[in-house]
Amino acid sequence: MRENMLGAYGRWAANLVSQRKPAALSFRSGRWPDLEAWRKEALARVRECIAQPKTGGAPKAKLERTVKHDGLVIEELSWQLPYGPRTEALFLRPARARGRLPGVLGLHDHGGNKFFGKDKITCTGPVIHPLMAEHQQVCYGGVAWANELAKRGYAVLVHDGFLFGSRRVRAADVPRCLKGDLRDPTADDPQGIQAYNRFAGEHEHIVAKSLFSAGTTWPGVFLSEDQRALDYLASRPEVDPDRLGCCGLSGGGLRTVFLGGLDHRIRAAVCVGFMSTWRDFLRHKCWTHTWMTYVPLLPRSLDFPEILGLRVPLPTLVLNDREDSLYTLPEMERADAILGEVFARAGSPERYRASFYPGPHKFDRPMQAEAFTWFDRWLKR
């Protein structure tokens, strides 16, 4: 028997999530001949499980600074949600653009680095932070993919997600029993940043337990915050609100699953490096994943890919890496089969595609090329 995270209890726990038939609210079960009737019931259940907190309406953004770089106009923005520090964001668009552009919400990754957020996938000048230069080299083929997409004729908004970058928990605000001697580092203190990121990783179970105790979930919080960013993107006069997309790697792929699945203003979604099954998380790979992933009781109703499948028949692209150590290849392939069946049953198989690339966890230039072509196909007139 293959090793699993629960030892002798693994097979029993896996069987709690049905292996031979679809979950209770799966469209694949054939119980709902009407797509909209199924979607209404399934969406209601997902929303009940994730228990989104209220985050107000479209945020009122403050323009902090405008820069021009590499053919782009980049606005540095901030806004205040009803709780926590101000959210910092970047709005990127081609300097020579005319008329309303398709808009894409760029969702940064987790990467075990909560000190940074939006900076992981953006660039505002010829010199970037050395840790971000290294990160982009390893994960993104040496480029800031949000900039690359904007240069193709898109308006791209990238904001700091919940607990990342400007939204991170400050060491000064938590008790000594959690942080020890940790002090909040500055951007020019790489050792301090590494120490902060270790603390932030160890703090995740505290965050998850606290959110559960508050009657919400981590996906509920980041989805609400991402929707407020989407509200702002849609409100921009440079953006066509009927041509919106989202994309992200890893933690950004996770956020794409929930935002793309539950908010159908997203007309084209690209999930990168975050697609497998609850069975994979349960038996083999939960130790590689953030607490951001989990929603109590939801696996009884839908398998993980079916959250993204709630958007059917809206165009959906999933990009995987065959040697991605965060998942097992058989379960990534099973997730692909699940989503393929959902779109086929909805009569729109051409609107779903999954691709498998060689190599480890990444969103490199060949993968970006496929993602950008997908956006061109579905968001450009």
Give the model confidence (pLDDT) of 196-255 as tens digits: 999 999 999 999 999 999 999 999 999 999 999 999 999 999 999 999 999 999 999 999
Give the model confidence (pLDDT) of 133-149 as tens digits: 999 999 999 999 999 99
Task: Return d(Cα 83, Cα 210) in angstroms, integer.
Answer: 15
User: Cis ω on the peptide bond leading into residue 313 (within 30° of 0)?
Assistant: yes
* Torsion sign, CA atoms 247, 24, 220, 212: negative
Task: Return d(Cα 314, Cα 327) in angstroms, integer.
Answer: 26
Give the model confidence (pLDDT) of 307-342 as tens digits: 999 999 999 999 999 999 999 999 999 999 999 999
State the architecture of 62-171+208-379 in CATH terms. 3-Layer(aba) Sandwich (3.40)
Q: Is the pLDDT of residue 2 over 60?
A: no
pLDDT of residue 15: 83
Helices (runs of H) and strands (runs of E) counted in the chain: 13, 9
Number of other CB atoms surrounding residue 261 within 10 Å: 26
pLDDT of residue 1: 39
Give the model confidence (pLDDT) of 356-368 as tens digits: 999 999 999 999 9
